[in-house]
Amino acid sequence: MKSPVKVGIVGCGYWGPNLIRNFRSLSACEMQMMCDVDERRLQHLKTLYPEVEGALDFDHMLNGAGLDAVVIATSVRHHYAMAKASLQAGKHTMIEKPMAASSAECEELIELARRQGLVLMIGHTFLYSAAVRRIKQIVDAGDIGEIRYISSRRLNLGLFQKDINVAWDLAPHDISIILYIMDEEPLRVSCSGNAHVTPGIEDVTTMHLTFRKERCACIQNSWLDPRKVREMTIVGSRRMIVYDDVAPLEKIRIYDARVEVPPHYDTFAEFQYAYHYGDIYSPYVKQEEPLKIECQHFLDCIQEGRQPLSDGVQGLNLVKILEASSASLKQHGAAVPLTGEKVILEAPPLTKPYQARRPELVGA
């Protein structure tokens, strides 16, 4: 019988309480401490979770609470310093997205975790979504043919951030899904946007990722839209997938639709596109909370000495794209080149040989 992992969470604002709730529900976890600089916020959470200790001092959390693992759910500007301190204190560490404010900070944290032999995991929650895992299965099986492009919209009214723009706030979800499905980094990134409310902080952006084989992805983000939209369209050469995360039941719809170019023609008059319209069907997707699966995965990796699906390398790959998007914004949408290399999906093992588990089996 494995001992429960003693977990502490720092940052109890918007997302922290969701993490506390999920970790508390897991038998492999002993939810021991929650930390925040806002005493009133801690007092409120103590009324909900009286058995969990509250702390205002992060140093005490690291050095005086006997924790095995620390989860960081603070503003992005604090991620690097807190994660570095946590790893130096010998704690397995999970960081909410994005991993840090620069790729240099990400690389330092990855190397520190490697030297310490600790689990470093990034909160790319949608990689633990049953719907996204099902889409990955469908794409990998070749059911939709070759991917031509991906279009994604993540829009809502607020929540406005003070230290990052809307691309850094919302696009990580879409980028992590796109990299997972494409299984490679983009060649180039371009991004345009405007700051309507807070000077210097874009609240509307459109990001364009260019991949090999003439494939691309477009990501639209906004804090100014009247509706909450979480939609992604994956267009293949044979079929198309529409993923609507807001839909209560049919989150995935597959359209048997495509456009075909005639293989042979002698004159332009003979040239005709062939439009194919077939059925629309929705595969079954098990209803489960992705965050709960993500939290369990973190505990599993600690107890079994495995690298997470969303490890530090995944966090680094994503931050590189966000950095390129910021550079493009400063250049009025000019394309910024990236390596375009295959995404590194596995890192070296921790305490025992790493046996990869396919994402569709995470939490199974």
Tokens 């039941």 correspond to 249
Q: What is the C-alpha to C-alpha distance for residues 106 and 319, in angstroms, rounded to an integer?
A: 8
State the pLDDT at residue 356.
32
- Same domain? For 69 and 135 the reply is no
Tokens 């809307």 correspond to 166
| 237 within 8 A of 251, measured Cβ to Cβ | no
Q: What is the C-alpha to C-alpha distance for residues 23 and 31, in angstroms, rounded to an integer?
A: 6
Considering only CA atoms, give the Rg of the chain. Answer: 22
Q: What letter represents residue 269's amino acid?
A: A
Which run of H or of E encompasses 292? helix 290-304
- Same domain? For 158 and 297 the reply is no
State the pLDDT at residue 64.
85
- Same domain? For 38 and 100 the reply is yes
pTM of the model: 0.88
Return the CATH number at 272.
3.30.360.10
Q: What is the C-alpha to C-alpha distance for residues 301 and 114, in angstroms, rounded to an integer?
A: 14
- The DSSP line for 46-95 is HHH-TTSEEES-HHHHHHSS--SEEEE-S-HHHHHHHHHHHHHTT-EEEE
State the pLDDT at residue 340.
57
Residue 133 lies in a domain: yes
Reference 120, options 173, 88, 83; nearest CA is: 83
State the pLDDT at residue 2.
84
For the chain, what's the residue count?
A: 364
HEC string for 87-147: HHCCCEEEEECCCCCCHHHHHHHHHHHHHHCCCEEEECHHHHCHHHHHHHHHHHCCCCCCE
- Same domain? For 49 and 134 the reply is no
Residue 21 lies in a domain: yes
> How many separate domains does the chain show?
2
Both structure tokens of 62: 């690291």
- Same domain? For 247 and 203 the reply is yes
Residue 73 lies in a domain: yes
Return the CATH number at 80.
3.40.50.720
Residue 327 lies in a domain: no
- Which structural domain, as residue segments, surrounds residue 14? 5-126+290-309
State the pLDDT at residue 355.
33
Both structure tokens of 348: 């070296």
**Mean pLDDT per segment of 10 residues, for the chain of length 364 residues?**
93 96 97 96 96 96 94 97 98 98 97 98 97 96 96 94 94 97 95 96 98 96 97 96 94 85 59 71 91 98 96 97 97 90 46 35 35
Residue 81 lies in a domain: yes
The residues with which 19 forms a beta bridge, in sequence order, are: none
State the pLDDT at residue 217.
98
- Same domain? For 176 and 215 the reply is yes
State the pLDDT at residue 110.
98
